[in-house]
Amino acid sequence: MNRAPLTITILLLSMLTIMAAAAVAPMLGILSEHFSTESDLAVRMILTLPQIIIIPSSLLVGRLSRRYAKRHLLIIGLLFYIIGGLSGGLSESITSLLIFRGILGFGIGFIFPITTSLVSDYYSGEQRIRMMGLSTAVNNLGGVIATLLSGLLALSSWRHPFLIYVLAIIVLCCVLVWIPRVDPVRPPAGSKRLPSWLSREIIRYLTGILMLNIIFYTIPSTTSMTIGVLALGGSLFCGSMLAIQNFCSFSAGVFFRRFFHVFGSHVRYVSMLLMGLGFFFFMINPTGGVLMFSLVCIGTGFGILTPFYLLQISNLTSGHARTAALSAASGSMFLGQFLNPVILSLFIRVVSPISTSAVLPSAASILLIIPTVAVMFIIDRTDRSGDHRTERKQS
C-alpha cells in the first residue's frame, strides 16, 4: 500500500485544528474595536467558543465511530468546518458570528480525534512516534500560515481572514479520494461495561492535556491586546509574533522523535520548564525582543508536550478504545482552551483593583501558570507509563 497520499491527507487534516483559532487571533484587537459595545469576554469568546462546542462533539464522535466509518465522520466534520468557518466573514453581529464559530467547533470535534486515531491505526513503533510529532508540527505550521495571512488580510477588512478556511475544501477532496473505506469495528452486543480506556494512566494524561491548554491559550487571547496597549505594532506585527510561536511549535514537532529518545518520559518536564520561562519573561518585560523570546519558549514547550501526551494515550489503548480515549483527549484539550478566557478574566478582576499595570493580562498570565504547572508536576510525578522503553516494547 502506497501510504504517501494517506500521509499527506492526515497531515492536511492536522493543519485545520489550530487554524480555527489562528485565523482570528491576530485581529482580536480589531474585532474589539468593531464590536466596541460588546464586553471584553464576548470578544474573547470569538476565539474560544468553538472549544466548548468541540467537547460534546468529540465525545459524540467517539460513540458514532462504533457504528459509522471514520471516513464518513470526517466528511461530516469537514462540511460543518467549511460552513462555520467561511460564514463567519458574513456576520453582521457578534451573535451571528458566535453562532458560526460554534458550527465550526462542531466540525473540529469530529476532525481532530479521528485524525489522531488514523495515525495510530496506520502507523506503529518508530513510524508512530514520527507521525505523531509531524501531525502536531503540521498543526502548528497551519497556525504559522493562518496567523500571517490573517494579519495581512485584516489590514483591508476584518472579514477577509475568514477566507483562510477555504483550505478545508481542498482537504475534503483529499479525504474523498485517499482515506480508505473501512467499516467500523462494533463492540459485542449487550456490552455495558465501562470503556476499557478509562484507566488511571489515561485520566492522568487527560488532566495534563487540560492543564496544558489552559496555560497555552493565554498567549493567543492576550498577545493581540497586549501589543495594542503597548503600541508595539498593528495586526501584522501581532500575526508575526504568533507565527513565530507557532513555527517553534512546528519545529519542536518535527524533531519530537529526537527529543523523545533523548529525554524519554522526562521530556514533559523540559517542556514545562520552557513554558514557565516563557511566561516569566512575557510578564516582566513585554518589549518587542523579549516578547519574541518568550513566545519561542512557550511555542517550543507546547510543540513537544502535545504529541507526548497523545502518543502515550495511543500506546495505552487499541481499537475502538483508542478512538474513545483520543476523543476524550480532544475534549480535554478544547475544554482547556475554552476555560482559559474565563479563568483569565477572573484573574484580571482580582488583580485590577491592586495593580495599575498597562499590561494587566500579562501579569494575570503568570498568576495562571504557577499553580497550573505545579498541578501538572504533581500529576506526572507518579506516572511512569510514559517511558520511551514502553513504546519500544509495544513496537
Average pLDDT for 120-128: 87
pLDDT in tens, 39-92: 777 887 888 788 789 889 998 998 888 888 889 999 999 999 999 999 998 888
Q: Determine the Cα angle at 393 with ends 383 and 249, to 5°.
A: 60
Nearest alpha-carbon partner for 346 in 38, 25, 41: 41
In the prediction, which pLDDT does 321 show? 82
Per mean pLDDT, which range of 69-83, 235-249, 308-322 is the poorest?
235-249
Q: Does pLDDT of 227 surpass 90?
A: no
Task: Tell me whether residue 308 is in a domain.
Answer: yes
pLDDT at 310: 92
pLDDT for the residue numbered 389: 41
Query: How far is the C-alpha of 37 from the C-alpha of 50, rounded, in Å?
Result: 22
- Residue 282 covered by a domain: yes
Q: Is residue 345 part of a domain?
A: yes
The pLDDT score that the predictor gives to residue 171 is: 95
Domain membership of residue 252 (yes or no) is yes
C-beta separation of 331 from 55 below 8 A: yes
Q: What is the pLDDT of residue 73?
A: 94
Rounded mean pLDDT, 241-268? 86
Helix (H, G, I), strand (E, B) or coil at 387: coil
- For residue 10, name the pLDDT band (cuts at 50, 70, 90): very high
What pLDDT, on a 0 to 100 scale, did the predictor assign at position 38?
81
pLDDT surpasses 90 at 354: no
Task: Give 311-336 as a 3 state SS string.
Answer: HHHHHCCCHHHHHHHHHHHHHHHHHH
**293/315 Cα distance (integer angstroms):** 34
pLDDT tens digits for range 363-391: 455 555 555 555 655 555 555 444 444 44
Query: Would 188 be classed as within a structural domain?
Result: no
| Number of domains within the chain | 1
Q: Residue 378 is part of a domain; what is its CATH number?
A: 1.20.1250.20
Q: What residue numbers bound the domain in which 145 lies?
A: 4-183+196-394
Measured distance CA(348)–CA(229) in Å, rounded:
15
Query: What mean pLDDT is reported for the chain?
Result: 80
Instruction: Assess if residue 60 is contained within a domain.
Output: yes
pLDDT digits (tens, 9 = 90+) for 144-201: 788 788 888 988 888 999 999 999 999 999 999 999 877 555 555 554 444 556 788 8
What pLDDT is recorded for position 276? 82
279 occurs within a structural domain: yes
**Which of 3-17, 173-187, 193-207, 296-310 is the least confident region?**
193-207
pTM, two decimals, is 0.78
- Cα of first residue to Cα of last residue in the chain, in angstroms, is 20
Can you give the pLDDT at residue 351?
61
Residue 104 has pLDDT above 90, yes or no: yes
Residue 7 pLDDT more than 80?
Answer: yes
Residue 189 within a domain:
no
pLDDT band at 32 (very low <50, low <70, confident <90, very high): confident
pLDDT reading at 128 higher than 80 = yes
